[in-house]
Amino acid sequence: MQGGAAVELIALSKVYGRTVAVDRIDLKIPAGSYCCLLGPSGCGKTSTLRMIAGHEDVSSGDLLIGDAVVNEVPPARRGTAMMFQSYALFPHLDCVDNVAFSLKMKGMPAAERRERARAMLERVHMDAYAARLPAQLSGGQQQRVALARALITEPSVLLLDEPLSALDPFLRDRMREELKRLQTDLGITFIHVTHSQSEAMALADLVVVMNEGRIEQAAAPRDLYNTPRTAFVARFLGGHNVLDLGADGTVAVRADRIALGAADTPPPDADMHRTGTVRSFEYHGASVQISIDLADAADITVVLDESRYFATPFAVGDRVCAGWRHADVHPLRA
Amino acid sequence: MSVTATSTVRPAARPAAADRAAAVRRLGRVVPYLQAAPLTLVLLVFLLVPILTIVVVSFWDYDSIRIYPDFVLTNYQELLGSPVTWKIYLNTLKFTALAWLFTLLIGFTVAYFLAFHVQSLTWQMALFLLCTIPFWTSNIIRMIAWIPFLGRNGLLNQALVGAGVVEQPLEFLLFSDFAVVLAYVHLYTLFMVVPIFNAMMRIDRALIEAARDAGANGRQILWNVILPLCKPGIAIGSIFVITLVMGDFITVRLMSGGQSASVGLVIANEISLLQYPAAAANAVVLLLVVTLMVAALLRIVDIRKEL
C-alpha cells in the first residue's frame, strides 16, 4: 500500500437548494492520521465525507487530497475508497467477486483478481466465507467484506460512513479495535464519520466536532476533552457541566473534578461551591454519577469514584454541597 | 448398555380442561386448511376443471356435424404429423422472439429512464401513469388505430411520399409480419416496463455509488450491477409477454390481414369450424410448449425474491 495522503478542506460548502449543509469549513487532516468527524445528525459530517469521496459535488471552496485540488476528479481517481453505512455490498455477487469488483472494472483477468480478492479477505479474516453471498453473512461479517472491498483499491484515504452504528455493542468494541489496528498497520489516512463521542475519542488522532454545518472544534481527543472551546462541544462530549456565571461568562467544569460534601461542609480544597439537592443517582461500576438540583440554575452532574462515594454516601433528596477548584474551571467561548 | 424406563402414572380421568385443550389443538390443525379452502375451490372450478375438460375433449372424435366422446389419438396424430403445424409453431415462436426482444429493449430503457433519470417521485409516478394510458381502451381498438396510420394510403405513407423519402407507398407497413410485431410491441411493452421498473426501484442507490467508488463507468454499472439485479423483473416481464404472444390470435388476424398464422389463430379457426377435439389437442400442445418455456425461464432466473 502506498501510504496516506493529507486531506485539506478550504472554505468548503455544500448547499442543497436553500439549505446550507456545510458552511465554509476549513480543515487540515494530516497524512496517515485517524480523523473522526463527530456531531449530531444533520450537522453536515456525512455531506463533508461524501464531498471528499466525490459522491457529492462541492458547492464552493476547494478540496485537496495530497497536493492536488480534486473538486472535479471522479471518485475512483481521488485515491479514496469509501465504506458505506449500509455496507452496500452487491447482493448478487459472492464475497470474492464483491471484493474483486474494482479490479474487474479495471479489466484485470478473472483468475488474478480473484486471487488478490481472496488474499484481501484473508486479511480481514473472512477467507472462510469467500463463496457466500452477502445475505448469508452477519452484519459484522458484511462489514469486513465491505472493508476488504474498499482496501483492495489501495486507497491513500479510507472514508468510513458510520461504520460501527449497525453493529451490536460487543461487536462494535471489537471492530473499533480492529479498525484502529488496521489504520496503524496500513498507515493510510482514515476519515470516519460518527455520532458517538466515545467512538471518536477512542479512535481518533484528530476529532472534528461539527454542528449546523460548521466546525465547532478540531483537536486531539485529550485536548478536546480538557479544553472544549464552546458550550456545544462540552455538552456533546458529555462529562462536563456547563455553568453560566453571569458576568464571567459560560464555563465548563468536568463532572469528575467536582467533590461533594454535606450541605454545611463544603469539600476541603474547593474554591467555589454550590448547594443543592440530590436528584438522582446512577451506579456505573468504577464510578457513580449523581445529579444535583440547584434551585437557581441547571442541574449539575458529578462523577465520583465508587469506593470514595460509598465511604460517605448520600441519598436522593439529601442536601449537599458541590465544590470545585478554580483551576478546574474552563472558560468557554460564547 | 442399560435402558432405564420411567413410567408416569396417568390420572384415571382427564380433567375437562385437558380435553378442551386437545380440542383446540385439533381445531388448530384444521384451521389452515379451512383458510386455504376458498382459493383452492376457485382454482379447482375455474382453472383445473376447464383444463382437464380440454385434455379429455382432445381425445374425442369428431366429424363435420358433431363430436363423439371416445378415446382416439387421431387429433394428436394429425396435429403433430402435419408440416403445417410445425410451420405455424415456428411462425408463432418467431413472433414471440421478436416481440420479446423489442419489448425487452424498449421496456428496459423506459424503466431505466423512469427509475434512474427521473429524480422526483412525483414525476416518476406521473410518467408511469402516462405509460398506462393506452390501457384505457381495449386491445382491439388500439390495434385498429394503427390501420389508418400504416395503410397503403395511410398517414405515414402520405407523409413519406409527400416528403419525397419514398416514391411508392411502402407496402410492408400494414398486413404484414412487421405490423403484427409492431402491434405486439405496442400492446405488451408495459408488461415489461412494470416488473423491470419495480426491480430497479428496489436497487439500493448506495450500490450504484459503491460501484462508482470502485471505478465503474456508466456502462459497467449498467452491465455489472443494474442488469443482474433486474433479472427477476426481466423474467417476470418475459413470462407475461411470452404467454400473451404465444396464445394470441386476434392481433395476428387483424394486423397480418390473414397473410400470417399463429397457433392461437389455428385454434380459433378450428373452433369456428366446430372441430373442438382438434382445437383441444392443439391447445394442450400449446399449453405444454408455453409451460416448458416458462419453466426454462424460471430455471435461469430465481424470481422468488421479487414476489
Residue B116 lies in a domain: yes
Which of 113-142 (B) contact A at CB < 8 A?
none
Counted residue by residue, chain A has a size of 334
Residue type, A155: P
Paired sense of beta strands A157-161 and A80-83, if any = parallel
The answer to whether B218 contacts chain A (CB < 8 Å) is no
pTM, 2 dp: 0.82
Total tally of structural domains belonging to chain B: 1
Judge: B204–A86 Cβ closer than 8 Å, yes or no: yes
Judge: A55–B210 Cβ closer than 8 Å, yes or no: no
Q: Residue B197 and residue B236: Cα distance in Å, rounded?
A: 11
The answer to whether B209 contacts chain A (CB < 8 Å) is yes
Give, in words, the CATH class of A241-331: mainly beta
**How far does A312 lie from chain B, in Å, by closest CA?**
56
| CATH number, position B300 | 1.10.3720.10
Q: Residue B46 and residue A229: Cα distance in Å, rounded?
A: 77
The answer to whether B215 contacts chain A (CB < 8 Å) is yes
The answer to whether B225 contacts chain A (CB < 8 Å) is yes
Residue B155 lies in a domain: yes
Residue B69 lies in a domain: no
Residue limits of CATH 3.40.50.300 in chain A: 7-231
Q: Residue A217 and residue A226: Cα distance in Å, rounded?
A: 12
Among residues A56, A135, A152, A148, which one has the least CA distance to residue A94? A135
Q: Selecting from 3.40.1180.10, 3.20.20.60, 1.10.1740.10, 3.40.50.300, what CATH number does the domain A7-231 have?
A: 3.40.50.300
Domain that holds residue B99: 83-306
Residue B22 lies in a domain: no
Residue limits of CATH 2.40.50.100 in chain A: 241-331
- Residue B192's H or E segment, with its range, is helix B177-201
| Interface predicted TM-score (ipTM) of this complex, two decimals | 0.85
The answer to whether B212 contacts chain A (CB < 8 Å) is yes
Q: What is the pLDDT along chain A (334 residues), one digit of tens a residue?
A: 457 899 999 999 999 989 999 999 999 999 999 999 999 998 999 999 999 999 999 999 999 999 899 999 999 899 999 999 889 999 999 999 999 999 999 999 999 999 999 999 999 899 999 999 999 999 889 999 999 999 999 999 999 999 998 888 888 998 899 999 999 999 999 999 999 999 999 999 999 999 999 999 999 999 999 999 999 999 999 999 998 877 778 899 999 999 888 888 888 888 888 889 999 999 999 999 999 998 777 888 999 998 988 888 888 988 999 999 988 889 998 6
Closest residue in B to A146 (Cα–Cα)? B210
Q: Residue B192 and residue B107: Cα distance in Å, rounded?
A: 5
Q: Residue B69 and residue B88: Cα distance in Å, rounded?
A: 28
The cell numbers describing A38, all together, are: 463527530
Could you give the residue ranges of the DSSP H alpha helices within B44-82? 49-57, 74-81
Chain A residues touching residue B204 (CB < 8 angstroms):
86, 88
Residue B62 lies in a domain: no
Judge: B215–A84 Cβ closer than 8 Å, yes or no: no
Which residue of B204, B214, B228 is in closest CB contact with A105?
B214
| Residues paired with A37 in a beta bridge | A193, A208
Q: Residue B42 and residue B46: Cα distance in Å, rounded?
A: 6
Query: Is the separation of the CB atoms in A76 and A152 below 8 Å?
Result: no
Exposure on the CB side of residue B146, measured as CA atoms within 13 A: 24
Which residue of A74, A85, A90 is in closest CB contact with B207?
A90
